[in-house]
Amino acid sequence: MVRERDELCITVPSLFRCPISLDVMRSPVSLCTGVTYERSSIQYWLESGHDTCPATMQILSTKEFIPNLTLHRLISTWSRPLTLSEREVRVLIEKVGCKSESKTTVVDCLLKIAEFVSSREENRRFLARYGGFVDTIVGILRRNSVEIVVLESVVRVLDLILTENGVKEKLNSLIMKSNNNCLSSVLKVIHKGSLDSKIRSIKILDSISVDNESKRQLSETENLLSVLFDNLKTAEDENLDDAVLMILITLSAIRPVKTQLVKLGLVQVLSNTLWNPKSANQNIGKAIKLLSLMVTCREGRCAVSEEARCAAGIVERIMKVKKTAREDGMVVLWSMCCLYKDGRIKEAVVRSNGVTKMLLVMQSENEGIVRRMCGDLIKVLGKNNSGLGVYDSKTTHIMPY
């Protein structure tokens, strides 16, 4: 539990913050790279399939971590436990929900609530289950002409409790079934907010896209797709790229979304991601996943055909990405070369030493659809390559889906 501080504005030593969540660490653990993280944050990172250190992007020789007891003692000495009684919590929520309260008061209350929920896991559970809390916070998003600093504070609080049981479903019900002000308010933060607020806002929208109806409604929010695309096109932060790519993958389950993204120029931007040496490996994987979704529509295939370096980029990365991304990359190449017999893509893949790469992929795969797609590709590409005999494959009828 947490007792109320006399002062709200506190300078937190940077070493006490988790590089992933940016919150004060309660259970710091160190990876083999020497970088320390909050246990729950790094566990989620590793369980999501990553094999790199988030801060340094070094490949981890081991995914084991060691409790940083020295840092834990320092943080414990520095921090004073905060407690808020149920009455104090009720007062804060009432002030936040009161339309007559000043902007400064609302922001102060939200910051205090954010500090409370970020300090301990039990505090997050307490507020997430507190009757009317989520409704009150979301209610601010429904208001007209709310200042950006207030909206950013709301987004921070919602993101902090997002993983608690029932919160995503509650937010979906409150935001998707309300007037458009909620989505417009979140969009305002994505468009004009700080980097951290943009990322939190996108994560919230992605988390409430729980079914096709919510995805459709979200995708039809005015300017949302264009704002997301602009962030992807201009961002130089891998965490923002990661958040945008993730929500675009989610929304691309809706066919009109794919068409609109292609018209915005998504394929060209994804191609740049593939060829950018600074692109994080997880973002490369998400870019390839998006491309595999784009080639399921005619507009997407046309865009990929016109952007031949995109296919060459997949060939270049195919052995450097995770297994799931490799499968997605094979779907793109197989679809374009074997299913739709695109001459430009065949030439681009051959020029990129694609036949050799396909042989390497085959060697790394057991029997399965990826191996069969490789066989099909080698057969098709061999006809375009005078230096390679035709590869005999009887699997050209196999679809990747």
How confident is the model over 134-164, as pLDDT tens digits? 999 999 999 888 999 999 999 999 999 999 9
Among 62, 78, 94, the domain-final residue is: 78
Say if residues 262 and 294 touch (Cβ distance below 8 Å).
yes
Say if residues 396 and 338 touch (Cβ distance below 8 Å).
yes
Say if residues 186 and 146 touch (Cβ distance below 8 Å).
no
Burial of 104 (0-12, 13-18, 19+ CB in 10 A): exposed
Say if residues 171 and 136 touch (Cβ distance below 8 Å).
no
Shared domain check, 272 and 196: no
Among 27, 46, 78, the domain-final residue is: 78
* Residue 247 covered by a domain: no
Shared domain check, 284 and 218: no
Shared domain check, 89 and 74: no
> Using CA atoms in the order 267, 269, 270, 273, what is the torsion angle rounded to 10 degrees?
160
Q: How confident is the model at residue 88 (pLDDT cuts 50, 70, 90)?
A: confident
Shared domain check, 91 and 55: no
Q: What is the DSSP letter of 335?
A: I
* Residue 394 covered by a domain: yes
Shared domain check, 292 and 383: yes
What pLDDT score does 400 carry? 38
* Residue 283 covered by a domain: yes
- Domain hosting 68: range is 14-78
pLDDT tens digits for range 66-82: 999 999 888 887 775 55
Shared domain check, 116 and 219: yes
Shared domain check, 383 and 277: yes
Q: How confident is the model at residue 388 (pLDDT cuts 50, 70, 90)?
A: very low
What contacts 336, CB < 8 A, 6 or more positions away?
Answer: 295, 301, 304, 305, 311, 342, 345
CA angle (357 as vertex; 354, 363 as ends), nearest 5: 145
pLDDT tens digits for range 2-40: 443 333 345 678 889 999 988 889 899 999 999 999 999
What pLDDT score does 13 carry? 84
Shared domain check, 397 and 278: yes
What pLDDT score does 397 carry? 37
* Range in 96-105, 177-186, 287-296 the model is least confident about: 177-186
Among 171, 199, 227, the domain-final residue is: 227
Residue 132 sits in a domain of what CATH number?
1.25.10.10
CA dihedral for 365, 394, 344, 307, sign (positive or negative) = negative
* Residue 23 covered by a domain: yes
Say if residues 400 and 370 touch (Cβ distance below 8 Å).
no
Q: Which stretch of DSSP H or E encloses residue 38?
A: strand 36-38
Shared domain check, 193 and 147: yes
Residue type, 278: K
* Residue 3 covered by a domain: no
* Residue 31 covered by a domain: yes
Q: What is the pTM of this model?
A: 0.76
What pLDDT score does 2 carry? 41
The first and second tokens of residue 240, run together, are: 């923002």
* Residue 238 covered by a domain: no
Q: In what order do the strands lie in the sheet with 36-38?
A: 36-38, 28-30, 66-67
pLDDT tens digits for range 95-115: 999 988 888 899 999 988 988
Please determine, for residue 390, whether its predicted confidence score (pLDDT) is greater than 80: no
Report which listed range, 98-102, 211-215, 301-305, 354-358, is most confident.
301-305
Shared domain check, 199 and 92: yes
Q: How confident is the model at residue 179 (pLDDT cuts 50, 70, 90)?
A: low
Q: Whole-angstrom Cα distance, residue 79 to residue 360?
A: 54
Mean pLDDT, rounded, for 28-56: 92
End-to-end CA distance of the chain: 51
Give the largest CA-CA distance in the chain: 80
Rg (alpha carbons) of the chain, rounded to whole number: 24
Shared domain check, 340 and 273: yes
Say if residues 169 and 175 touch (Cβ distance below 8 Å).
no
pLDDT tens digits for range 315-357: 999 999 999 999 999 999 999 999 999 999 999 999 999 999 9
* Residue 380 covered by a domain: yes
**Nearest alpha carbon to residue 311 among 289, 290, 288:** 288
CA dihedral for 283, 232, 252, 246, sign (positive or negative) = positive
- What are the percentages of helix, strand and coil residues in the chain, rounded to 5? 65, 5, 35
Residue 39 sits in a domain of what CATH number?
3.30.40.10
Q: How many domains does the chain have?
A: 3
What pLDDT score does 82 carry? 58
Q: How confident is the model at residue 208 (pLDDT cuts 50, 70, 90)?
A: very high
What pLDDT score does 201 carry? 97
Mean pLDDT of the chain: 88
Shared domain check, 319 and 396: yes
Q: Whole-angstrom Cα distance, residue 374 to residue 371?
A: 5
CA angle (233 as vertex; 201, 18 as ends), nearest 5: 45
How far lies 100's CA from each of 97, 105, 106, 123, 349, in Å?
9, 10, 10, 28, 63
